[in-house]
Copies of this chain bind each other. A is one copy, B any other.
């Protein structure tokens, strides 16, 4: 039996055809398919391209695909889910079952392999999402960069800029962040970076990329950088704790918390404040990282919907056969 898992994001979308044992037989990647930002026509064209490529890579297996699970960015509401289903269904024979879900589920399952738990996603943006044993779902945050991405890469970068300019204005102590920013943009003085940021094609992404400077400043023992990491780590810890309290009545169970996204490449720096905050909130969690490629979470979800158990060999097989060709 074959399933197709799709992980649809804002900048790229990956599809994987795999067996119930975790063997990857085809994998393809196309552009972004967030229906909120990309527009329906473009999403349709990207998904058509994805399915066409998978079909070409494994024509025989494609015909045996029984279920499609698509975890899509922007598919949090019924309207968008229906729109995406209407795009995908005509690309398959009518016997194929198609489920459209939020991409946070794909991210969660890439760590819990289908078990309940919480996923904290933090890249440019941040959102906390969870599913409990009763399949109840809840979310915290993810309201966009203007007022809802506490603890995201964007928030950390913005805090660094704010600190550097406040130090320049004599409002707070000096910080090495100022020098790091000037060097990073190869400029003479801090105000020279203003037009670069405001005139950037994607200021949100540019600001988020400044996170690396904050990490560098922490390594140089800069107090302001440490404060920024402490604050944003605490925001992530609070979001995780709030979600655990909403979904789980914690007895002796330890809740799985999956950390997904570029920010956690530097979990060494963020670990202390995140874990301290969660502990202070009286929550017991098991922090884990993705065990498989993100689209693997969609494959797992598709198999679970077919009532197939994911055994211990699944992960090993999946990671062994999921190579880029």
Query: Chain A residues in contact with chain B, CB under 8 A?
Result: 36, 139-141, 143-144, 146-148, 150, 158, 161-162, 165, 169-171, 191, 194-195, 197-198, 203, 207, 238-239, 242, 245-246
Bound: A150/B159 CA distance, A: 12
Quick check: B171 and A242 within 8 Å, CB to CB?
yes
The 10 A-B residue pairs whose C-beta atoms are closest, nearest first, are A147-B161, A140-B169, A147-B162, A170-B242, A143-B165, A147-B158, A171-B242, A148-B165, A171-B238, A144-B198
Quick check: A239 and B207 within 8 Å, CB to CB?
no
Interface centre among A146, A194, A197, A198 (most CB of B within 10 A): A146
Complex interface: chain B residues within 8 A of A171 (CB): 140, 238-239, 242
Main secondary structure of the interface of A (DSSP, over half): helix
Quick check: A207 and B238 within 8 Å, CB to CB?
no
Partner pick for A242 among B158, B162, B169, CB 8 A cutoff: B169
Bound: A212/B54 CA distance, A: 54
| A60 → B minimal CB distance (Å) | 43
A195 to B, closest residue via Cβ: B36
Bound: A144/B196 CA distance, A: 12
Q: A146-B161, A150-B162 are in contact. List 14 more A-B contacts (CB 8 A).
A: A139-B169, A140-B170, A143-B165, A143-B194, A144-B194, A146-B158, A146-B197, A146-B198, A146-B203, A148-B162, A148-B165, A169-B242, A170-B242, A171-B239
Complex interface: chain B residues within 8 A of A140 (CB): 169-171
Complex interface: chain B residues within 8 A of A150 (CB): 162
Complex interface: chain B residues within 8 A of A144 (CB): 194, 197-198
Bound: A203/B169 CA distance, A: 27
Q: How many copies, total? A: 2
Complex interface: chain B residues within 8 A of A198 (CB): 144, 146
- Given A140-B171, A171-B238: A165 and B194 interface contact (C-beta under 8 Å): no
Complex interface: chain B residues within 8 A of A203 (CB): 146
Complex interface: chain B residues within 8 A of A161 (CB): 143, 146-148
Bound: A203/B146 CA distance, A: 9
Bound: A150/B195 CA distance, A: 19
- Given A140-B169, A171-B239: A146 and B207 interface contact (C-beta under 8 Å): yes
Bound: A207/B147 CA distance, A: 10
Bound: A170/B13 CA distance, A: 32
Partner pick for A245 among B139, B148, B162, B170, CB 8 A cutoff: B170
A170 to B, closest residue via Cβ: B242
Quick check: B170 and A246 within 8 Å, CB to CB?
yes
| A237 → B minimal CB distance (Å) | 11
